[in-house]
Amino acid sequence: MDINKLWESWIDSDNFSGVFSVNSEQGVIFEKSCGYRNINEKLTNNKETAFGIASGTKMFTGLAICKLVDENKLTLDEKICDLLLFDLGQIDKNVTIYHLLTHTSGIGDYIDEESPNSVEQMEVLYRQYPVYLWERLEYYLPMITPLPPKFKPGERFGYTNAGFVILGLVIEAVSHMPYQQFVQKIIIEPLGLKHTGFYRSDFLPANTAFGYMGNIKNGEQRANIFNLPVIGGADGGLYTCADDLDTLWRAVFANKILSEAMTEQFLKQQMNRSDGESYGLGVYRSNRGNNLVYYAVGGDFGVDFFTAYFPKQKIVASALGNTEINTYPLLEALILTSNT
């Protein structure tokens, strides 16, 4: 991979704010830190800056569920109606853990990203449910349980945020601790992830990036603190940094989080997607040109993110952005380049 050439050919490289990092087992191959983690203070982003990763959090949730399966505290075919004491409203009683993990549950979504007006939906939702109250996963239930199913369980892949919120509630029911605390206990602390956590947006630790919305060229940017839940949940909102993501991927493939058999289940193809790619148990898969790549992505108000692992080259590539510049073309270029 000629990463420098790839970076220079990316149309948004001059406007990117964040960190783009590519590492091999031997160390850094390429690294760019651009823009500001705090615009008003002119505090620059650096390789240790933590960024919100939005739906990239779903990979952590998938690992957490698989950990409970590994410990025989849960099975993938268990129905969520048998695990949760909450009134699940219109959620189909046949929905299982497996359906939720593979985005095949069909449950109604409080933010339907398959809808063309999902952004407008989010803005309406945040006016009805103020973001400073989104502290516990139970708070999401009135937004989810009244919604009719979109399709029958197992019928197709349909990306869902609500499904991962429900998975977070399952983790809490089985582990008897808050979802965020469980992820801290079984992933963040054992791996020594130094700048990863569910930080409150009103109490961010040092060297953590604010997410910015608005036009970067016109300087009309504002922080996203009124457009995201005050603390992340099981479907999104974790903060992390490039080095921690490198550690995480290598731990996954060294079976340091899950057993070898469960790691294989987590990574293997579980469901085909309409774009020709596939999905595991909380992680995306691309298999173009017989060069398998695993990745997670996330995007939200003032957040854009991807992280990917290339097993053949044993390379980790991550882009953590704190504006709304779309980094997905950079991921696509990496995948295509890895096949040459």
As a whole number of angstroms, the distance between CA 321 and CA 318 comes to: 10
Strand ranges (E), the chain: 18-24, 27-34, 36-38, 43-44, 51-52, 212-215, 220-223, 239-240, 271-272, 278-279, 284-288, 291-300, 303-310, 315-321
What's the pTM value of the predicted model, to 2 decimals?
0.96
As a whole number, mean pLDDT of residues 17-33 equals 97
248 Cα distance to chain centroid: 13
Q: Does residue 338 have a pLDDT over 90?
A: no
244 Cα distance to chain centroid: 14
Distances (CA, A) of 226 to 122, 205, 213, 222, 238: 12, 18, 11, 10, 16
List, for residues 150-190, the tens digit of each pLDDT value. Answer: 999 999 999 999 999 999 999 999 999 999 999 999 999 99
As a whole number of angstroms, the distance between CA 60 and CA 287 comes to: 22
Sign of CA dihedral 238, 241, 246, 250: negative
As a whole number of angstroms, the distance between CA 220 and CA 326 comes to: 18
Q: Does residue 219 have a pLDDT over 90?
A: no
List, for residues 227-265, the tens digit of each pLDDT value. Answer: 999 999 999 999 999 999 999 999 999 999 999 999 999
Spell out the alpha helix ranges (H) of 50-204. 57-70, 97-101, 118-128, 141-144, 162-175, 179-183, 189-191
In a 3-state reduction of DSSP, which class is residue 332?
Answer: helix
Pick the more confident residue, 149 or 272: 149
* Residue count of the chain: 340
**At residue 227, what is the residue type?**
N
Q: Does residue 218 have a pLDDT over 70?
A: no
In a 3-state reduction of DSSP, which class is residue 263?
Answer: helix
* Domain spans of the chain, in order of start: 3-338
DSSP 204: P
| β-strand partners of 307 | 296, 318
Main-chain dihedrals φ then ψ at residue 65, nearest 5 degrees: -65, -45
Percent of the chain with pLDDT over 90: 88
- pLDDT score for 72: 98
List, for residues 275-327, the tens digit of each pLDDT value. Answer: 778 999 999 999 887 789 999 999 999 999 999 999 999 999 999 999 999 99
CATH number assigned to the domain covering 3-338: 3.40.710.10
Exposure of 333 by Cβ count < 10 A (0-12 exposed, 13-18 middle, 19+ buried)? middle
